[in-house]
A and B are shown apart, each in its own frame.
Chain A
Amino acid sequence: MTPNSQKPTLKMEYLPVLQELQKIKRPIEARELSRKLHLGYEKLMSGAIYSLQEQKLAKFTEREEVLLHLTEEGKEYVKKGLPERQIFALFQEKGYKEIKVSEFAKSVEMELGFNKKLFFIGLSHMKKNKWVVTSKATGEETIFVYNEDAPKSSLEEILQIYGDNQVIPLSSISKPLQEYLPQLLKRKLITREKVTIRMVELTPEGYMIKPNEINLIEEEIQMISSDMIKSGEWKESINKLKKYDVEIEGPKIYAGKYHPMTIIKNQVREVFHSMGFQEIQGPIIELAFYNFDSLYQPQDHPAREMHDTFYLKHPKTGKLPKKSYVETIRSIHENGGDTGSTGWRYKWSSEIAKKLLLRTHTTATTLRYLAKVGLEKPQLPIKVFCIDRVFRNEKVDRTHLAELQQIDGIIIGENVTLSDLIGQITEFYKRMGFKKVITRPGFFPYTEPSMEVSVYSEELGAWLEMGGSGIFRPEVTYAWGIKHPVRVLAWGLGLERLAMLKLKRDDIRDLYQSKISWLREVSY
């Protein structure tokens, strides 16, 4: 015998369950057991069976099963026979050999209480079963007996299986008969239910054990109610309180939640705000003039072509700013204007600059801000940023989107330097969580010097290209009155690249598909 300390422990109230199982002596379906014991199924499973299993006295196995329930109508027919059987019985009882359909319908209604619809259902099945045939040979449709014996139909065979039961498993019906189930379902005589069948059985120890070998404990209570708290009953009950398995997950709740992209955008905003930057916003539908020309992108530059940029069919062109600005941009492109540059040396067209497009970078918006600063001449330095949508005419796949979000920061100041820019970028990425940052020579058409920015990802253990930066060229700033020694430091990066890293996604499309199951679970 096992020593006392290793006696299985069981709540008093579960003892009858054990005893019942010992009596049954075979595996039993859990619902059946629950009916036998007059105990709720859930309670039985999560209480007694769970405890017995925990004490290695019982075990259960699970499988999926389809249950076929009789409907109220179905129950009636199990007792009285299907309408076709009842009607045929009446037919024979009356001793008919043949009878007009309309006439018979009336007598069926009178004798059996079947309405017309039910009568015709019955009739069609009598015909299907080849018990009777109908003919219009005599003018009006008439019923004739075809097989006096009226052998049992397949539907009747199925109903017979029920016996006294109201529910039977699908597996109790033979394969050939199962083919007829859709008819019963269609006639709404049965319903299907998918369930998990749990077979409960005692272990050898469970069969052998006697009550005096079990450490029986008192009944538990589920919760301390308000009444118990008020009456003081809790003092006694607290010891009987059901212990919870605190390690198990609770049921899921679907609460309100931010989209992860908003969270990441707000983190970026926070970093900019903490570094003294103010946010700006600009048009999404933009003039080529601000998106390209003002950024010193020559009009034959490949990035301006249709296969890279979304242009508008309607409205097609917008209005250029006042003439002096347009003429300044023209001369900067053609010969450098007053910037000291050679210019691109080609003929610039204001028609091309008028085109409307979906902006390809937020730099179009920072550029508009330069125009404002040039006009209003506020105190320098000025630090602004922009996080907003940009568009590229690209086929969407794992690594490309047609609509993206871009982050741009600029500092306008007197004698600001490349070393200042490296300092700002390093600090920015540090606050974004990247401790190691490299800025190395790069190229962008509207900045000089230009730098590529790479950051080291601790998670991936690799350097990642994270964005670009530089000092706006004089050809870009002079048109707006921002001239030496005032300069504009700028850097930018794509929000999605950052988001994919932070959210651990490798398909860029995931970010905007708003898959609710992901949004409900995602952590940020």
Chain B
Amino acid sequence: MPTIELKIDQLSELLGKKVKYETLQYDLQWISLDIDDYDPENKTIKVEFNPNRPDFSSPQGIIRPLKGYYGLEKGLIKYHVKKGKEYFKVSAKVKEIRPFVVSGLVRFDFSLSEEQVITLMRMQEILHWAVGRDRKKVAIGIHDYEAVKGPYIYTTVKPDEIKFRPLHLEAYELTPQEILEEHPMGIQYAHLLEGFSEYPMIFDAEGKVVSFPPIINGTYTTVTPNKTKILLLDLTGTDEKAVNVALNILATTFADMGGKLESVKVIYEDEPDKEIWTPNLAPNNWIAHVDYINSYIGLNLTAEEMVDCLHKVRLDANIKDPNTLNIQVPAYRNDIMHEVDLVEEVAMGYGYQNLTPTLNMEGFGRYHPAMKLAQNVREIMIGAGCIEMVNNILISNKDNEKMGLKLKQTEQIILANPVSNEYDSVRRYLRPSLLKNIQFNRSEEKPFRIFEVGDVIIYDKTRETLSRRELHLAVMVHSDSSDFSEIRSIFDYFARTFGIFEELSIKEDEDPTYIPGRMGSIYYKKKKIGSIGEVHPQVILNFGLEYPTATFEINLMPFID
């Protein structure tokens, strides 16, 4: 979750109303913000916001709905964008790599302060992540406008066609290729340009490199605190909607900081008729229905009351007819995709804290048959004096091997990206898990009688997921006197109590997990459903243990109704 640091004094100043930590702690949650941390010494709060609201990436962005919440201001904020003279020429060569660019100018009456530059950089960082998918969809360049000269050209160059001084490594003239290989930003983002024979580049009218998107800016246009007064923005990317939203969030925030916005024209070389002016801060128009919204939230508001709610969350709305609202959504919002998103806006304007919970207790509770059965089996095993284990389904294939369980290659289930080799597969049997439990507890007082009722996963090519889950029971005993007859007694007790004793049979068999001559396969209606026996000393040693061990495991699926 993205976070942003706010000074409580600054919030009070921006709001024009004194606020305290204690009140913010309660109030912010109703506009979907969460205080993550509070530093009482510096009176700052760290606020977490949801990734669908990148417009919360600056103090100015948070102030908007907060003013609405406190009733200090309402409705859509109007921004004026003056038509500018600068333009970007876009070469057709960028189409395959990063087809879109948008821009804008912001003029301040003052040089930006250190604090403002920090806000700006933090926003850039959050937007890269939340809107730009780590620069893939959107990369942002913010420049000192007075260092370059328009018009600007957005084109591509060959990897070693030019040399320029990149930001952070000002002392070196490097080719784009060298930047990708040697510059920290280049190394971090080189994957975004992988497979392309040319790289995107923005030049000014004199051929100076403004920016090498999505990697790094040139040095000419570095934004400097207490000096820079006019900002030139470039946003390039692969998603036209996303570059515009990111630009709009920046532009409106800068306007809230006191900047005057000026549009920049974008001309596409291969589409001479297309002429785009950005930023375009015209609100997005939506239609929503009063009955629909009421039925969603469980309210009975009139159209007028709904307009009020929408004003509070800084949207505009007017009543088309008693059941229809025309709603204007600010250009810095990109989270409205459906009428249902406006339902949430109304609910937030009304206040979740003001909703009256309603409780309808229809329906009949019922166990899942497998859970019911699992519960019965657990009860029986506890009656037999066994302690229940609950283990992971994730397992290491090595543990199967240590038990002498060899699965056919084609029937193995293997993870593509395990975090560690402690888990690289899912379990096919429960008994390796139980033996690992004993291993983990080997210094505890014996005797051990443990069991697990749980799922194993089986390769099954008839299923859409090529696998199925099977509910198993496994029991394991471990002490200096554990032998076949002990486990057989427990098994018999289980089978009798569970009511399947007469239907089961055990036939002598062989299995590398067990001692030959002390192992049997368990059959139900001529189908093998499990095994029982004394664990082979080699297996006991493989798990670093030294006491006799016996176990049985059966598939419980045949007994589920």
* Chain A contacts to B: CB under 8 angstroms: 254-259, 261-262, 266, 269, 272-281, 283-287, 300, 302, 306-307, 310-316, 318-321, 336, 339-343, 345-346, 356, 358, 381-383, 389, 391, 393-396, 402-403, 415, 417-420, 422-424, 426-427, 438-443, 448-452, 471, 473-475, 484-485, 487, 512-517, 519-520
Check if B357 is an interface residue, CB within 8 A of chain A. Answer: yes
- Residues in B with CB closer than 8 Å to A426 are 357, 359
Given contacts A415-B295, A418-B296, are A423 and B387 in contact (CB under 8 A)? no
Q: Which of A300, A313, A415 contacts B416 (CB 8 A)?
A: A313
A-B contact pairs, 26 of them (CB 8 A): A256-B381, A256-B382, A256-B385, A256-B386, A275-B363, A278-B364, A283-B465, A311-B415, A315-B459, A318-B464, A389-B455, A391-B394, A403-B392, A403-B423, A418-B355, A419-B298, A420-B298, A420-B359, A440-B32, A440-B352, A441-B344, A442-B32, A474-B340, A484-B292, A487-B296, A516-B437
Q: Which of B50, B413, B426 contacts A442 (CB 8 A)?
A: B50
Complex contact A514–B415 (CB within 8 A): no
CA distance A313 to B346 in the complex (A): 46
Complex contact B393–A284 (CB within 8 A): yes
Check if B274 is an interface residue, CB within 8 A of chain A. Answer: no
CA distance A418 to B357 in the complex (A): 8
Check if B489 is an interface residue, CB within 8 A of chain A. Answer: no
Check if B347 is an interface residue, CB within 8 A of chain A. Answer: yes
- Residues in A with CB closer than 8 Å to B52 are 443
CA distance A487 to B293 in the complex (A): 13
Complex contact A314–B295 (CB within 8 A): no
Q: Which of B299, B371, B417 contacts A310 (CB 8 A)?
A: B417
Check if B356 is an interface residue, CB within 8 A of chain A. Answer: yes
Check if B151 is an interface residue, CB within 8 A of chain A. Answer: no
Complex contact B388–A451 (CB within 8 A): no
Given contacts A418-B355, A475-B338, are A448 and B361 in contact (CB under 8 A)? no
Complex contact A342–B359 (CB within 8 A): no
CA distance A471 to B293 in the complex (A): 13
Check if B197 is an interface residue, CB within 8 A of chain A. Answer: no
Q: Which of B264-272, B440-448, B536-544 contacts A (4 or more CB under 8 A)?
A: B440-448
Complex contact A420–B32 (CB within 8 A): no
Q: Give the shortest distance, in Å, between A520 (CB) and chain B (any CB).
A: 7
Check if B360 is an interface residue, CB within 8 A of chain A. Answer: yes
Q: Which of A279, A316, A440 contacts B29 (CB 8 A)?
A: A440
Q: Which of A273, A306, A342, A422 contacts B367 (CB 8 A)?
A: A273
Determine the residue in chain B with the shortest Cβ distance to A439.
B352
Complex contact B469–A383 (CB within 8 A): no
- Residues in A with CB closer than 8 Å to B463 are 283, 318
Complex contact A441–B357 (CB within 8 A): no
Q: Give the shortest distance, in Å, between A524 (CB) and chain B (any CB).
A: 12
Complex contact A448–B419 (CB within 8 A): no
Check if B467 is an interface residue, CB within 8 A of chain A. Answer: yes
Complex contact A422–B371 (CB within 8 A): no
CA distance A287 to B426 in the complex (A): 16
Q: Which of A313, A314, A417 contacts B297 (CB 8 A)?
A: A417
Q: Give the shortest distance, in Å, between A267 (CB) and chain B (any CB).
A: 13
CA distance A439 to B440 in the complex (A): 41
Check if B466 is an interface residue, CB within 8 A of chain A. Answer: yes
> Which residues in window 111-165 of B have CB below 8 A to A?
133, 136-137
Closest CB pairs A-B (n = 3): A276-B363, A273-B365, A417-B298
Complex contact B382–A257 (CB within 8 A): yes
Q: Give the shortest distance, in Å, between A459 (CB) and chain B (any CB).
A: 21
CA distance A452 to B34 in the complex (A): 10
Q: Give the shortest distance, in Å, between A505 (CB) and chain B (any CB).
A: 14
Check if B191 is an interface residue, CB within 8 A of chain A. Answer: no
Check if B173 is an interface residue, CB within 8 A of chain A. Answer: no
Taking A279-B368, A423-B357 as given, write out 10 further A-B residue pairs in contact, using a Cβ cutoff of 8 Å, ordered by the A residue number. Answer: A255-B385, A258-B378, A315-B461, A340-B338, A340-B339, A356-B467, A389-B393, A424-B359, A440-B30, A514-B437
CA distance A132 to B459 in the complex (A): 73
Check if B190 is an interface residue, CB within 8 A of chain A. Answer: no
CA distance A443 to B348 in the complex (A): 12
- Residues in B with CB closer than 8 Å to A342 are 337-338
Interface string of B327-353 (1 = CB under 8 A from A): 000000000011111011001100011
Complex contact A358–B50 (CB within 8 A): no
Complex contact B441–A515 (CB within 8 A): yes
Complex contact B30–A287 (CB within 8 A): no
Complex contact A515–B296 (CB within 8 A): no
Interface string of B366-396 (1 = CB under 8 A from A): 1110110001001001111111111111100
Given contacts A262-B388, A420-B298, A422-B355, are A441 and B31 in contact (CB under 8 A)? yes
Q: Which of B32, B423, B445, B449 contacts A402 (CB 8 A)?
A: B423
- Residues in A with CB closer than 8 Å to B324 are none
Q: Which of A278, A345, A474, A512 contacts B368 (CB 8 A)?
A: A278
Interface residues on B, range: 35 or more
CA distance A450 to B352 in the complex (A): 11
Given contacts A306-B417, A340-B338, are A381 and B298 in contact (CB under 8 A)? no
Determine the residue in chain A with the shortest Cβ distance to B347.
A449
Check if B184 is an interface residue, CB within 8 A of chain A. Answer: no
Complex contact A450–B133 (CB within 8 A): no
Determine the residue in chain A with the shortest Cβ distance to B29.
A440
Complex contact A275–B365 (CB within 8 A): yes
Check if B51 is an interface residue, CB within 8 A of chain A. Answer: yes
Given contacts A256-B385, A306-B416, are A418 and B338 in contact (CB under 8 A)? no
Check if B561 is an interface residue, CB within 8 A of chain A. Answer: no
Determine the residue in chain A with the shortest Cβ distance to B389.
A514
Complex contact A283–B467 (CB within 8 A): yes
Check if B418 is an interface residue, CB within 8 A of chain A. Answer: yes
Q: Which of B344, B357, B391, B449 contacts A448 (CB 8 A)?
A: B344
Given contacts A283-B469, A321-B464, are A262 and B390 in contact (CB under 8 A)? yes
CA distance A320 to B415 in the complex (A): 20
CA distance A286 to B323 in the complex (A): 43
- Residues in B with CB closer than 8 Å to A254 are 385, 387, 445, 447
- Residues in A with CB closer than 8 Å to B440 are 513-515
CA distance A306 to B417 in the complex (A): 7
- Residues in A with CB closer than 8 Å to B352 are 422, 439-441, 451
- Residues in A with CB closer than 8 Å to B30 are 440-441
Complex contact B457–A285 (CB within 8 A): yes
Check if B20 is an interface residue, CB within 8 A of chain A. Answer: no
- Residues in B with CB closer than 8 Å to A393 are 417, 419
Q: Which of B241, B361, B375 contacts A345 (CB 8 A)?
A: B241
Q: Give the shortest distance, in Å, between A423 (CB) and chain B (any CB).
A: 4
Determine the residue in chain B with the shortest Cβ distance to A317.
B466
Q: Give the shortest distance, in Å, between A406 (CB) and chain B (any CB).
A: 14
Check if B321 is an interface residue, CB within 8 A of chain A. Answer: no
Q: Which of B298, B339, B390 contacts A259 (CB 8 A)?
A: B390
- Residues in B with CB closer than 8 Å to A302 are 133
Complex contact B358–A420 (CB within 8 A): yes
- Residues in B with CB closer than 8 Å to A321 are 464
Complex contact A269–B371 (CB within 8 A): yes
CA distance A389 to B347 in the complex (A): 33
- Residues in A with CB closer than 8 Å to B241 are 345
Complex contact B50–A443 (CB within 8 A): yes
Q: Give the shortest distance, in Å, between A289 (CB) and chain B (any CB).
A: 9
Complex contact A448–B413 (CB within 8 A): no
Complex contact A356–B466 (CB within 8 A): yes
CA distance A95 to B382 in the complex (A): 75
Check if B194 is an interface residue, CB within 8 A of chain A. Answer: no
- Residues in A with CB closer than 8 Å to B326 are none
Complex contact B337–A336 (CB within 8 A): yes
Complex contact B441–A272 (CB within 8 A): no
Q: Give the shortest distance, in Å, between B507 (CB) and chain A (any CB).
A: 29
Q: Give the shortest distance, in Å, between A418 (CB) and chain B (any CB).
A: 5
Instruction: Name which of B30, B136, B444, B461 has the most chain A CB atoms within 10 A of its CB.
Output: B444
Instruction: Name which of B292, B340, B341, B348 has the most chain A CB atoms within 10 A of its CB.
Output: B340
CA distance A403 to B419 in the complex (A): 12
Complex contact A417–B295 (CB within 8 A): yes
Determine the residue in chain A with the shortest Cβ distance to B359.
A423
CA distance A438 to B362 in the complex (A): 23
